[in-house]
Amino acid sequence: MINQKPTILQNQTKAISSLKIAVLCLLSALICRGAFAVEVKFGFRPGATYEYELTSTSSSESDALGIDYSHSPTSVTSKFQVKTIDFEKGAFIVDIKFNDQTYRRYIKENGEISGAPGEAGKQVPFFISFPAFDWQPEQRHQVTRQISLGRISVPAGWNLLLKSFDPDKQIAEIWFAANLKLPEDRLRRKQFSQKGRIFFDLAAGVINQAEWNTEYSFNFINKEIAVVREIWEIKERTSFKLKLLDIKE
């Protein structure tokens, strides 16, 4: 009996020490994680020109009553330049030169558009916007909006995830996916998905590289009383690659 007491005490001491270690590990992990939290935001330098290359590869296939038609992938590569003019009222004033056409846009730090005078009368696309707070790795961020065309409004959203951060290179890897619910009925079935990733250069405040794929499928059906026939099926795939080529001051 006398010999058992020190054994219990020893065990308790061991348990307390291991708990301390676990708490310390947890705290250090939290501290480390806090240290890797990043703020992803654009930081164009006024007067600088950012040259990008965009490659899109598209392929498609269709089926008409069991007869297949397909088109082999074709690629289009184009270069464009983003010239930063100024930073005013929380937005960068930039001129985007694309195929001898210039588009002026006011881009906020998080990537949203606050104005596009060169595209007046047009519906400006729904672009990805980054969170305006310190972003933790593996933390999700969602942006939603209603996209309207005519009298029809479609819910759309961007799901973003900060996948990793390289503190040495100051590169953040962000995964993204689009949520888009296209209108369907009993004769028309549709699917759309868009997924990709971004390598964001936090030091330069620009997208270094990005790639994403879109897939769209459309089924057209005829239905008369009990007879249902799939008439046409169309599938389209496009992959995009965006690459920063040069920054000219």
Partner 1 sequence: MKKILVALALFICLYSSSAHCALENNLTGRFKFWLLNNEARAFSSLSFDREIIARVETAFSIIAKHPDQSIKAAETIWEKNRSFYVLLDEIEHVYSVARRYGNGRFAIILQQARPEIYSTVPFHQLIPGVFTNLQSVYRKAFFSALIKALSLDPDQDVNLSARLNKALRKLSDQDLRLFNSYLDNFSALFPGDNSARMIKAFIQTGSREEFGQGVSKFLRPEFIELESLPLSDGKNAEKIADPLAELEKLASMSDSSSELDIRVSQPAQDNAPATAEDYPEPENVAPPKETIPENKPLEEPEPGVEEMFNIWD
Task: Identify which range of 6-14, 16-24, 73-81, 132-140 contacts partner 1 by CB under 8 A.
Answer: 73-81
C-alpha distance from residue 96 to each of 20, 124, 206, 227 (Å): 56, 14, 14, 53
Residue 19 CA, chain-centre distance (Å), reads 40
Cβ–Cβ under 8 Å, residues 85 and 93:
yes
Total residues at interface with partner 1 (CB under 8 A):
72
CB neighbours of 193 closer than 8 A, spacing ≥ 6? Answer: 177, 178, 214, 215
Task: Identify which range of 4-12, 20-28, 134-142, 213-221 contacts partner 1 by CB under 8 A.
Answer: 213-221
Residue in 12, 74, 144, 146 binding partner 1, rule: CB under 8 A: 74
Residues 12-51 that bind partner 1 (CB under 8 A): 50
Residues 147-176 that bind partner 1 (CB under 8 A): 147, 149, 152, 154, 156, 176
Residue in 49, 139, 194, 209 binding partner 1, rule: CB under 8 A: 194
Q: How far is the CB of 62 from partner 1 (least distance, A)?
A: 4
- From 52, 21, 14, select the one nearest 204 (Cα to Cα): 52
Residue for token pair 């390598």:
199
Q: How far is the CB of 142 from partner 1 (least distance, A)?
A: 14
Q: Is 178 in the site for partner 1 (CB under 8 A)?
A: yes
Residue in 1, 65, 120, 249 binding partner 1, rule: CB under 8 A: 65
Cβ–Cβ under 8 Å, residues 36 and 202:
no
Q: Alpha helices of the chain — where are they, by DSSP H?
A: 4-36
Residues 79-138 that bind partner 1 (CB under 8 A): 80, 82, 94, 96, 98-99, 101, 103, 105, 107, 111-113, 123, 125-128
| Cβ density class 205-228: b for 16+ within 10 Å, e for less | ebbbbbebebebebbeeeeeeeee
Q: How far is the CB of 93 from partner 1 (least distance, A)?
A: 13
